[in-house]
Amino acid sequence: MNAQSNFGGDFGGFGGFGGGQRPDDAGMTPPDGTGATPPDGAGMTPPDMGGERPERPDGGDGGFAPGSGAAPSDGGTAVAPDSATTADALSSKTASAADATASDSKKGLKASGALYIYGGSAVISSADDSVHSNGSVYIAGGALELSSGDDGIHADADLVIDGGKINISNSYEGIEGMTLAVNGGEIDLVASDDGYNAAGGADSSSLGRMGANQFASQEGVYIKITGGYAHINATGDGIDSNGDLLISGGVTLVDGPTNSGNGALDYNGSGEITSGVLVAAGASGMAENLTGSGQVSAMISFSSTQSAATAVTLADESGNVLLSYTPQKSCQCIVMSAPALQAGSSYALFSGGTASSSDAYGYADGGTITGASELCSLTFDSETASLTDTGAVSAGGGMGGFGKRP
């Protein structure tokens, strides 16, 4: 493991969140942004988006005060508990990934119990998981630059992200836990398999890899997204839950697989979006839509593969952009959902061109589109829609999409 860090007492690992049991509401109560308090295992209340676009994080440390690093009262194990644990002390625990021997740990930042991250910064390059806990992981702030031969961030139990800035430049699976709740922060990740994974290990491609963590598919696991801004670039499934996939806020952008053996979205339980923004582009073979509630979730399939870096835009009758995204890879279909998309309304579908308010990831929810080709007018008769780029109703879509993997 190659690690550079500036923890200064900001990183501590103690206690546990609960052993993968799904809470009654939606995760954990997010901190108020001023000195986060570790969750006590209670459920999280999703924020009321009110039809408004969530604000993108400012790229800082998430606004959370550094943790005290004090030893836990419940007997948990502390990781980098105080200012005496410096970057040198951390990096001395393991060698670089290239020079690792059988006696070295190949993980980066790790804990046998729960791991809490409130602030500071770390740059970690590891042969195994860059951030790992045998219990739960809770991230409320800080900046993580990770490159992993296995998971970017892994928790055997619950994994909660309330804030901070996370960049995973290389990983097998980006962020993985028995359950995953994303409630804030800014995430940009690249994964050669799944981007987000809840109760992972069912994919045969993961068997035998270094540090592989095998979960059995089971009820009560989930991925819940209530806030934050995330860009996921995955060769396997973009978001993969062996339980439920529930979105009620945030902006989530997925550049999914180009092969039809995986999908931009994959879930075994229920899949629903009630607020927030989702764009998930990828191959059509295993594509799945979500059930829209309060806003449309539309799966749009293309008659010919869209080339990489070709914007897909939905605009109102006046030409105002409501939702636009420029996938980084070629795609055959795309799922688009935002509070501005409502059942019973018609929207113009554009391919190519440039949205005037696009951000660095190619996402826009306003402005105008120039240089684009209008493909058709789409009318969403219900909040869960599956249409082609000619405006016709598609045979695929809804829960299960074009073909749910066995």
Nearest Cα neighbor of 397 from 271, 278, 255, 307 is 271
- The SS3 assignment for 304 reads strand
pLDDT tens for each residue of the chain, 406 residues long: 555 555 434 444 433 333 333 334 433 333 343 333 333 433 333 333 333 433 443 433 333 333 333 333 333 333 333 322 222 223 323 334 444 444 467 999 999 999 999 999 999 999 999 999 999 999 999 999 999 999 999 999 999 999 999 999 999 999 999 999 999 999 999 999 999 999 854 333 344 454 455 454 467 899 999 999 999 999 999 999 999 999 999 999 999 999 989 999 999 999 999 999 999 999 999 999 999 999 999 999 999 999 999 999 999 999 999 999 999 999 999 999 999 999 999 999 999 999 999 999 999 999 999 999 999 999 999 999 999 999 999 875 433 333 344 3
Q: Which residue has the tokens 């990934």?
A: 97
DSSP 32-43: -SSS-----SPP
Distance between CA 364 and CA 321 in Å, rounded?
Answer: 8
DSSP state of 50: T
CB–CB of 344/380 below 8 Å? yes
pLDDT, residue 219, reads 72
- CA dihedral sign of residues 102, 107, 113, 119: positive
Distance between CA 137 and CA 118 in Å, rounded?
Answer: 11
Nearest Cα neighbor of 118 from 60, 56, 164 is 164
Distance between CA 287 and CA 388 in Å, rounded?
Answer: 14
- The SS3 assignment for 204 reads helix
* In 283-357, beta strands by DSSP E: 291-292, 297-306, 312-315, 321-325, 331-337, 346-351, 354-355
Nearest Cα neighbor of 179 from 336, 44, 341 is 44
pLDDT, residue 3, reads 54
Which one-letter amino acid corresponds to residue 117?
I
Distance between CA 2 and CA 266 in Å, rounded?
Answer: 33
| All structural domains of the chain with their residue ranges | 1-21+53-96+108-192, 219-391
Among left, alpha and beta (phi > 0; psi -120 to 50; other), residue 371 is left
Nearest Cα neighbor of 123 from 155, 161, 158, 152 is 152
pLDDT, residue 220, reads 80
Distance between CA 379 and CA 371 in Å, rounded?
Answer: 23
Distance between CA 27 and CA 39 in Å, rounded?
Answer: 10
Distance between CA 64 and CA 113 in Å, rounded?
Answer: 22
pLDDT, residue 277, reads 98
State which H helix or E strand residue 121 sits in: strand 121-126
pLDDT, residue 212, reads 53
pTM for this one?
0.75
Query: Which alpha helices (H) appear in 12-163, and where do they start and end?
Result: 87-91
pLDDT, residue 259, reads 92
